[in-house]
Amino acid sequence: MRVLRHLFDDNKEWARKIKETDPDFFLKLSNQQTPEYLWIGCSDSRVPANQLVDKLPGEIFVHRNIANVVVHTDLNCLSVIQFAVEVLKVKHIIVCGHYGCGGIKASMDNLEHGLIDNWLCHIKDVYHYHQTRINSLVSDDGKFNLLCELNVVEQVSNVCHTTIVQNAWKSGQELAVHGWIYAIETGLLKDLDVCITNKNEISRIHQIK
């Protein structure tokens, strides 16, 4: 017995609507993908990459995890970045966080949440690096919002520190890494102005010759 029948119905209707405007859309897409963007975002159901920048299938290569964290040794994320950069030749990597992120919130308390605490430790590290700045804010909301932003900035750096991105720059490949944040309550994106396009823009210790 097929369960979740409504999702299959919705899928049929969705495909029908797309074919209505472009009858060959799926056929063309089945032959190749040529996305210009790699999106690294939060798994949060309210932050769907394609929808919030109004892009169709085939336009964005996507990796999502809790709190859009890029860990130096995460083979899953690194494999996505490698494929996107070396095979798909994306021109932009966008790390997109969001305000009100549950992962960020959970990293700010001292409670036990189970296995996920090991993942959230990476965000606690970000808090630790920037604790003077964060703790200088009075309101809890202000601290929370700032950590959501600083986490994006930190993950942009982590993307740039990978051998994948640095090798792409070394070979002259055009590749920019961006940090954005999304506000769920307005549906709007904000650019955090941390666009990095070459190795001279990252910290010296991380630069690979």
Q: Which two tokens stand for residue 191?
A: 């650019």
Stretch near Co ion under the rule CB under 5 A, chosen from 35-43, 137-145, 151-159, 172-180: 35-43
Going edge to edge, which strands form the sheet with 188-191?
60-65, 37-42, 92-98, 176-183, 188-191
Q: Which is nearer to Co ion, 68 or 162 (CB)?
A: 68
**Torsion of Cα atoms, 102 then 107 then 111 then 113, to 10°:** 60
Is 95 a binder of Co ion (CB under 5 A)?
Answer: no
Least gap, CB of 189 to Co ion (angstroms): 14
Stretch near Co ion under the rule CB under 5 A, chosen from 6-14, 88-96, 99-107, 120-128: 99-107
Residue holding tokens 């336009």? 59
Least gap, CB of 102 to Co ion (angstroms): 6
Least gap, CB of 193 to Co ion (angstroms): 21
Task: Tell me the backbone φ, ψ of residue 96, rounded to 5 degrees.
Answer: -120, 115
| Distance from C-alpha of 69 to C-alpha of 91, rounded to nearest angstrom | 20
Taking phi first (over 0 means left), then psi (-120 to 50 degrees means alpha), and beta for anything else, what does residue 195 get? beta
Stretch near Co ion under the rule CB under 5 A, chosen from 18-26, 98-106, 112-120, 196-204: 98-106
Q: Which two tokens stand for residue 126?
A: 């970000």
Per the annotation, the verdict on 133 as an active-site residue is no
Per the annotation, the verdict on 117 as an active-site residue is no
Is 69 a binder of Co ion (CB under 5 A)?
Answer: no
Stretch near Co ion under the rule CB under 5 A, chosen from 55-63, 73-81, 96-104, 118-126: 96-104
Per the annotation, the verdict on 204 as an active-site residue is no
The SS3 of residue 61 is strand
Q: Which is nearer to Co ion, 44 or 149 (CB)?
A: 44
Per the annotation, the verdict on 46 as an active-site residue is yes
Q: 66: which residues sit within 8 A by CB, 6+ positions away?
A: 42, 43, 102, 103, 116, 119, 120
Least gap, CB of 207 to Co ion (angstroms): 31
Exactly one of 38, 40, 42, 123 binds Co ion (CB under 5 A); which one? 42
| Distance from C-alpha of 104 to C-alpha of 106, rounded to nearest angstrom | 5
| Distance from C-alpha of 57 to C-alpha of 113, rounded to nearest angstrom | 35
Is 101 a binder of Co ion (CB under 5 A)?
Answer: yes
Per the annotation, the verdict on 160 as an active-site residue is no
**Catalytic positions, written as ranges:** 42, 44, 46, 98, 101
Q: By the criterion CB under 5 A, which residues form the site for Co ion?
A: 42, 44, 101
